[in-house]
Amino acid sequence: MTTVDPEIGHEGVIAALRESADNPSAFLALNAGNAYFTDPAAPGSSGSGSPGLIAYREAGRFLIQFGGVFAPEADRERLLRAFLGFARTTRRKVVAVQLQRSDAELYARCGFTVNQVGSSYAVRLPGHSLRGTKFMKLRNKISKARRSGLEVTEVPYERHTGELASIDQEWLRSKGRHVKEIEFLVGECGGPAQPHRRLLLGRLAGEPIGYISYSPAYGSHPGWLHDLSRRRATAPPGVMEAINLHAMETFRDEGAEWLHFGFTPFTGLAPGHEVPGASPMTTRLMRLLAERGDKVYPAASQLAYKEKWAPELILPEYLAFHGRASLPAIWQILRVTKSI
């Protein structure tokens, strides 16, 4: 279960994200299993915690932090330093994942070794269309799925848990007997945060064939995050693309600005994205995983799906170690996410 400070509550976490997060994936901070750090000694906190919070998990001798410091800009460095003090009292080291560029610079100032670990991708919704030759293959796939009788509807999660579970089970079986569902850096369905998500379900001949869950995205590029997606092995080509296009058109008509496709590790790596003091060892490891890391994470297929929508916004994302870069810390991240 998510560990939530009783003075905050889940709605308090969502409020902090809405007010201060500038990370397209920030809503994943609400995943089950996360804990939250606040600083009760902060000025003006009245004992109930500082403005903002830090989401993390314990993993061996590390605290794995997700997504940066979710606090007003003026409070971020102080809250991060307070979290480092908390880590020292528990005799653990902090390693942070999915940081944005502004986070990376803050963490470097606070004694972290910071490296790019991948990128996130987004499409601007106003004026977006699939006209033109570059979208020809995508249009054809979607048209084929629609001609097969695909119906896409937005549904309440609570009334369709059985259908979604059957899709999940078949999807997981299709990945192989030893494959586990990745956690922590991907979203989920259900729980107290579910009312804030959107769920689109595709059916063929009345039978559920696939779904995509979308989470709110806050900050300077607000909109929705294309999050958890699952389909049956029997789903014809174009089903997931058709579901996503239905969502994009719905969100665009509602006035949303961006659809984020989220973080893909080991992609978009570039020397110009690194911050001063980056670890050469970690840079080499990231590039090795970019070339040969499909057994750790299916980055190539994830990137291919995102690139077919011609994303207009590509943001580098970062990994940060307090002190020197650490292979044991990377190992613990892989364990926490169930990538191994």
Residues 94 and 174 in one domain: no
Residues 256 and 137 in one domain: yes
Residues 239 and 251 in one domain: yes
pLDDT of the residue at 9: 76
Residues 236 and 105 in one domain: no
Residues 170 and 159 in one domain: yes
In a domain, 78, yes or no: yes
In a domain, 311, yes or no: no
Residues 116 and 136 in one domain: no
Residues 157 and 170 in one domain: yes
Domain of residue 69, residue span: 9-120+266-300+316-336
Write the CATH number for 155: 3.40.630.30
Residues 198 and 278 in one domain: no
Residues 281 and 223 in one domain: no
3-class state of residue 20 by DSSP: helix
In sequence order, which ranges of the chain are alpha helices (DSSP H)?
9-20, 73-89, 101-109, 136-147, 161-174, 239-253, 280-292, 299-307, 327-336
Residues 62 and 19 in one domain: yes
Residues 243 and 271 in one domain: no
Q: For the chain, what is the domain count?
A: 2
pLDDT in tens, the chain (340 residues): 334 454 567 888 999 999 999 999 999 999 988 999 998 666 544 444 457 999 999 988 999 999 999 999 999 999 999 999 999 999 999 999 999 999 999 999 999 999 999 999 999 999 999 999 999 999 999 999 999 999 999 999 999 999 999 999 998 887 665 444 555 678 899 999 999 999 999 999 999 999 999 999 999 999 999 999 999 999 999 999 999 999 999 999 999 999 999 999 999 999 999 999 999 999 999 999 888 877 667 788 899 999 999 999 999 999 999 999 988 888 888 777 665 5
CA-to-CA separations, 236 to 149, 240, 241, 242, 283, in angstroms, rounded: 11, 9, 11, 11, 39
